[in-house]
Chains A and B, each alone.
Chain A
């Protein structure tokens, strides 16, 4: 089982749609969780951290379920500019920070 697994996608949605991405992780000792965004042929950039209590940033909502080892990202009112690959990222923690990435889910928002 891979350490971080995501919906394979791709997702094609119309502008204004709500879209949800799911991610599971295998290591129960994982300590911190993130969603990164990667535009085509660009480097990944942090979209948002994911907290146990859930967190929201504008149209984006991230949730964490430690018991099920599950992370989600919800995008409401999709914009054309949301088209990108979304990467689920887990930090197992300990003294050396090592991020493990899911393979990513490609989102295309259509006009």
Chain B
């Protein structure tokens, strides 16, 4: 395993509140990613990072922001949570060949 820890693992929050999910890795991988997984869409890329303070948008970035101030940490913030952001969120890191995923965060927005 690549030593990726996501926190929290489960969260219920109210519509309109900000939420931050944390991803921590111990492998010193350069590339880090945030995906969301929904039954009707599968895994979709939200944002990714290719280095400290270097981030870019994925295909479903609206309503999300990210920050990476250290190699090991990649934060995902939902600025004002909406019910459509109820999902399972996965963080991943990548070597040149393989992606390693965290165990996921199940987020429910009520």
**Interface set of A (CB-CB < 8 Å, partner B):** 32, 34, 36, 42-46, 49, 87, 89, 95-104
Contact = CB atoms under 8 A, between A and B. Distances in A.
Contacts of A43: 90, 101-104
A104 to B, nearest CB: 6
B43 A98 contact: no
Contact of A97 (B41, B96, B102): B96
A44 B103 CA distance: 9
Contact of B101 (A44, A98, A103): A44
Q: Is the interface of A mostly helix, strand, loop or mixed?
A: strand
B48 A103 contact: no
Interface residues of B, number: 23
Q: Is the interface of B mostly helix, strand, loop or mixed?
A: strand
Contacts of B33: 98-99
Given A43-B103, A43-B104, A45-B101, A97 B31 contact: yes
Contacts, number: 47
Nearest to B102: A43
Interface string B27-51: 0000101010000011111001010
Given A44-B43, A87-B43, A99 B94 contact: yes
Given A42-B103, A43-B104, A96-B50, A49 B97 contact: yes
Contacts of B43: 44, 87, 101
A96 B48 CA distance: 9
Contacts of A34: 98
Nearest to A36: B99
17 contacts: A43-B102, A44-B90, A44-B99, A46-B98, A49-B97, A87-B42, A96-B48, A96-B50, A96-B56, A98-B33, A98-B45, A101-B42, A101-B43, A101-B44, A103-B41, A103-B42, A104-B42
